[in-house]
Structure 1
Amino acid sequence: MAVQAHILVVEDEDALATLLQYNLEKEGYDVAVASDGEEGLLKVDERMPDLLVLDWMLPKVSGIEICRRLRNRPDTRNLPIIMLTARGEESDRVRGLDMGADDYLTKPFSTVELAARIRAVLRRIRPGLADDAITHGDIVMDRVAHRVRRGGSEVHLGPTEFRLLDHLMQHPRRVFSREQLLDAVWGSDVYVEARTVDVHVGRLRKALSIGDGPNPIRTVRSAGYSLDLEA
């Protein structure tokens, strides 16, 4: 990212907090974690985050109370907040949004969806921090317009091929196995056969081909795929 957004995750489930930190750092964010409401408020005071991922049910100070307090302070009134909760009732969602949350995810959720929600909130509220366009070689991806160009020519991609290219462009020259791509593009909570990756990689490769030149999507035998324009 051009400017690395600082995200604070306040979540008392250690396994989930670790998973969120790992996946958000993989997305290019600078991530801090707090395990209860009091620690969360202290970390906000120590270093103002660009966005807060906040669990509803927390020890010491609840997420909804943190949201209320931050909205009442002039320095944190406009801090983007995404709430996480096991509460799925519509009245609870409305209450969370009424308290000032910018968005709301009900557990269980996929980390792919959370990353998309974070991008959307940052784009809307802190546009300077939204990683809207990325480039690798002669490939340019505009996430807002959902458009891809290669060598100045428009490349037409379906939604899955777009997400696949997005992931590969964030990690150029890195080789990903089918299973890693399934997890990153489809989400770990969705069952899709590994062979499906081959189909979508084939479509992406065809869309990116220019004449007889080398294709940027490289197959690494018995390992997986990578985006490598220099191969």
Structure 2
Amino acid sequence: MVLPRSEKDRIAGMIMQGIEHHKILERVRETSGRNRTSILEKKDIENIIAAYGLSVNQSHHSDDSTSVRLIAQDMKDAGELLYFKDQGELDPQNTEIPSEEFVLAFMKEGQQLMFSEQLKNTEKLQVCMDSTHCISQYTGFQLTTLMTITDLHQGFPVAFLISSTVNTEIVKVFLDKIKDRMGVVQAQVFMSDDDPLFRNAWYATMGGDITVKYLNCSWHTDRAFRKSISSSPI
């Protein structure tokens, strides 16, 4: 049995997010019914990496900080780096970001190609932003993903931000670098969680003349609703 293209796209997106392969297997198996995806194997992931031309970064150096710098340099050489600021450094062009913060933003070649295609028809452009904790064995970092919705109604990650803090200043720098690369992104719909942080940063950066419909993610809305009910007196 062959994996559906939509599932391959979804798995490729998770690989590009840097999610560990065993976690991808667990997630896919948990969310699949009784179909080909439910018996996903490690070999399937390897085939998707090869088919999509994805790279799986190995450690460049035994020292984590040095390894990250080398990875960032590799991304810069490949034209994939959007922004990098290591901990202990102050960026004179973005002094609103404290020196103790770590910020790494990037857009892979395949992501840029997909994004460029979608920007040709902004009348249907929908974007989402969300952050994820505990993305690896390293604590204290968050992964923020900018996604677009494809013609197959699947979320496709077009840029990533790894940072020690997620706040308006850092997200605005992230979006500014995307704007420098892709131009003003005139999305018709912008979806995020119930925290206005992403929405405010998007409006401040991409604003423009177009009227954007802002939506809250259904999962976050449901969680907030349940929390409100549980805390209300009977």
Q: TM-score, normalised by structure 2?
A: 0.24
Task: Kindly name which structure, 1 or 2, has the bigger radius of gyration based on alpha carbons.
Answer: 1
Higher relative contact order, structure no. (Cα contacts within 8 Å, ≥ 6 residues apart): 2
